[in-house]
A and B are shown apart, each in its own frame.
Chain A
Amino acid sequence: MALAMLGAVSQGILWGIMVLGVFITYKLLDIADLTVDGSFALGGCVCAVLVVGGMDPTLAIIMAMLAGMVAGAVTGFLHTVFEIPAILAGILTQIALWSVNLRIMGKSNTPLLRVDTLFSSVTDATGLPQNIASILVGLVFAVIIIVGLYWFFGTEIGSACRATGNNEAMVRALGVNTKVTKMIALTLSNGLVGLSGGLVCESQSYADIGMGTGAIVIGLAAIVIGEVLGRLVPGQLRAFGSRLTAAVVGSVVYFLIRAIVLQLGMDANDMKLISAVIVALALCVPVVWEKYQLRRSYSRASKALASAGATDPAEGSTSNDSTIEGGR
């Protein structure tokens, strides 16, 4: 059990890097980029083929990231230059990548047998158990990337990218070419996804054509879990750095839940259903809650009006004067 949990934590961190990629498009750019399923597998396939071919495992992971960036750029190109809706552009790239990935590997999976990976070399060098080594390597990558993203989205270009997801008309009026910012964000996002694919491939010692299937849903689920957890923390984590960290933590929690469910004897194939339910619930709850609040405030106000109406109707009305000084 403990071993399974450790494995889940390490998986959660490695996949967490993919979640950071999804965070950029879904939370900052406000588009659901479906390229992710394809670019994750692309990262894995590229990495596996290169490592088997004798490339340095770390360099192979960098190449996986570059491959992911290219995939993101293709989606960005379709979306910005030809104005294909983002969701459709992502689906097109994702479908195309299935064939591309098969071409890259030449078969549907590539095992990394008897070759050194980043993880095996850390295990050999330190004598740590494999799970611990994966967690350490994953943490190093995650920390570097979170710091990097924090820096990037604080820069002039990064601010423009964030603002693009917020209010496109405004950023254009401020002289920013939103095609460029969208392109940057999609490329960066899929670069991280590809990187994560490469890391996962090396940690599990094989790449599979289907390894990215459902990655976007895992990403969304992890983001949602991270947000919920962030809200539970006193003071509510709103700062950008904590939102990024929460996304990775959400990913770890997702994989822990998954491990527990599997330990309870559930079929691994049902996990996708559970992921979908988690995301669907997380998206439903705020809407249902708000509707409930609206209805409740109406019935409360009617009750108050009914009791106040008997005495003095003017008493119940409050001044509606909103001045410029009054915030919402």
Chain B
Amino acid sequence: MLKLSSVSKTFNAGTINEKRALIHVDLHLAPGDFVTVIGGNGAGKSTLMNIIAGVYPMDAGTITLDGKNISRLSEPARATYLGRVFQDPMMGTAADMQIVENLAMAKRRGKTRTLAWGVTKAEKDEYAERLKELGLGLEKRLTAKVGLLSGGQRQALTLLMATLTDPKLLLLDEHTAALDPKTAAKVLELTEKIVSERKLTTLMVTHNMNDAIRLGNRLIMMHEGRVIYDVAGAEKAALTVADLLQKFEEVSGGELANDRMLLN
């Protein structure tokens, strides 16, 4: 489904702040793969997500999605195939617009926008149905401004928006990191439900090792711009946090995993 071949990205090349964020990264996702991505700060996890989404161009390599080379496509053009949820709950929704208006915009991802009415009646019923699945009561607040929702509600809505058109690839960039534990658990539960129901190919960055082990069928660990550990299937199911920490210490030369990883 998704294939990255030798993808590289260096920030501030040739300056004292040079940062090689991705170094010849090869990654191949099969359709329906749910891959969790872990790694310390600055490992290149977010850069990986942004490179796939086309937020900034890469220096070298190719990205193909479902057999189509998307390496040179702009961010809006790639959005046709991608659903994205960001770390910041404020980033995924338009605060001054209604819940239905936000969903309607997401529904038109990848379609040419015309002068047809922005939200049709038939759509509203569909959205109400989908919102009901979230179990947050949002289906009764269709015309409420999104800015009135809590962070968790906004993140759940963003998740729904990202998956509304069944994207070829779902990119989740630490989408529960800014939420309190209880809300994070709820959003994660919704993520699991939607991904399995819709059979979405998913790439999820997380700092939480337990989540990384528990969710998905495959796990990759990144370190200093490289994928240093890639495990799937039964082997992944048998992983423990201790295994991951040991793996991390091996590659980082005895240096311990960062605090945030340990705390989770």
Chain A residues in the interface with B (C-beta under 8 A): 152, 154-160, 162-163, 166-167, 169-178, 321-328
Q: In the complex, are the beta carbons of A173 and B53 less than 8 A apart?
A: yes
B38: interface (CB < 8 Å): no
Closest chain B residue to A155, Cβ basis: B115
Chain B residues 47 to 83 lying within 8 A of chain A, measured CB to CB, are 53, 74-77, 79-80, 82
Minimum CB–CB distance from A247 to chain B (whole Å) comes to 16
Q: In the complex, are the beta carbons of A166 and B186 less than 8 A apart?
A: no
> Which residues on A sit within 8 Å (CB–CB) of B104?
156, 159
Chain B residues in the interface with A (C-beta under 8 A): 53, 74-77, 79-80, 82, 84, 86, 90-97, 101-102, 104-106, 108-111, 113-119, 136-137, 148-150, 152-153, 156, 161, 180, 182-183, 186-187
Q: In the complex, are the beta carbons of B92 and A154 less than 8 A apart?
A: no
Q: In the complex, are the beta carbons of B148 and A324 less than 8 A apart?
A: no
Q: In the complex, are the beta carbons of A156 and B182 less than 8 A apart?
A: no
A156→B48 CA distance, assembly (Å): 31
A183→B93 CA distance, assembly (Å): 22
> Which residues on A sit within 8 Å (CB–CB) of B113?
156-157, 160, 176
Q: In the complex, are the beta carbons of B79 and A174 less than 8 A apart?
A: yes
Given contacts A159-B97, A173-B82, 9 further A-B pairs with CB under 8 A are: A152-B115, A162-B97, A166-B95, A171-B105, A174-B161, A175-B108, A176-B79, A323-B183, A328-B150
Minimum CB–CB distance from A147 to chain B (whole Å) comes to 14
> Which residues on A sit within 8 Å (CB–CB) of B118?
154-156, 158-159
Q: List 10 A-B contacts (CB under 8 A).
A: A163-B94, A171-B105, A172-B75, A173-B79, A173-B82, A174-B109, A175-B109, A176-B79, A324-B156, A327-B149
Q: In the complex, are the beta carbons of A167 and B91 less than 8 A apart?
A: yes
A171→B161 CA distance, assembly (Å): 12
A321→B109 CA distance, assembly (Å): 36
Q: Given A163-B94, A163-B105, A173-B53, A324–B186 Cβ distance below 8 Å?
A: yes
> Which residues on A sit within 8 Å (CB–CB) of B110?
175
Closest chain B residue to A178, Cβ basis: B76
Q: Given A155-B118, A174-B106, A327–B183 Cβ distance below 8 Å?
A: no
Q: In the complex, are the beta carbons of B152 and A154 less than 8 A apart?
A: no
A327→B186 CA distance, assembly (Å): 15
Q: In the complex, are the beta carbons of A324 and B117 less than 8 A apart?
A: no
Closest chain A residue to B79, Cβ basis: A175
> Which residues on B sit within 8 Å (CB–CB) of A172?
75-76, 79
Contact pick for B94, options A162, A177, A322, CB 8 Å: A162
Minimum CB–CB distance from B32 to chain A (whole Å) comes to 23
> Which residues on B sit within 8 Å (CB–CB) of A323?
152, 182-183
Closest chain B residue to A167, Cβ basis: B94
Q: In the complex, are the beta carbons of B148 and A155 less than 8 A apart?
A: no
> Which residues on B sit within 8 Å (CB–CB) of A170?
91-94
